[in-house]
Amino acid sequence: MSVSVRLPTILRPQAGGLSEISAEGGTVGEIVDDVVRQFPGTASHLKAPDGGLHRFVNVYLNDEDVRYLGGLETPVPAGAQLSIVPAVAGGGG
């Protein structure tokens, strides 16, 4: 099934400037793999060497952090939206 994937600004140059794309898959992992297949330049931003998600990337399925759902194995229902968000750290002190 096809779902909408929202891309952060940092990934848009690797995706032809698009802020939202369509990707295929039944799980978060399959969808991330399809994003990488379509736009190979996103691989180093999304995938860790062990095949999991890069630790500086957060993925949300309909506003729910997939780390608390089932990670890459999280099923993705029809009509869902996946958002890829770079992790933000730091702050003033």
Residue 51 has pLDDT above 80, yes or no: yes
Query: What tokens appear for 21 in the block?
Result: 């794309």
What is the per-residue pLDDT across 58-67, written as a single tens digit (0 to 9) for each?
A: 999 999 999 9
What is the per-residue pLDDT across 69-87, written as a single tens digit (0 to 9) for each?
A: 999 999 999 889 999 998 7
**What is the chain's length?**
93
Residue 44 has pLDDT above 80, yes or no: yes
What does pLDDT average to over the chain? 90
Contact partners, residue 17, CB within 8 Å, separation at least 6: none
Q: Are strands 57-61 and 64-65 parallel, antiparallel or unpaired?
A: antiparallel
CATH architecture for the domain at 2-86: Roll (3.10)
Amino acid at position 20, single letter: E
pTM: 0.88
Which sequence spans correspond to the domains of the chain? 2-86
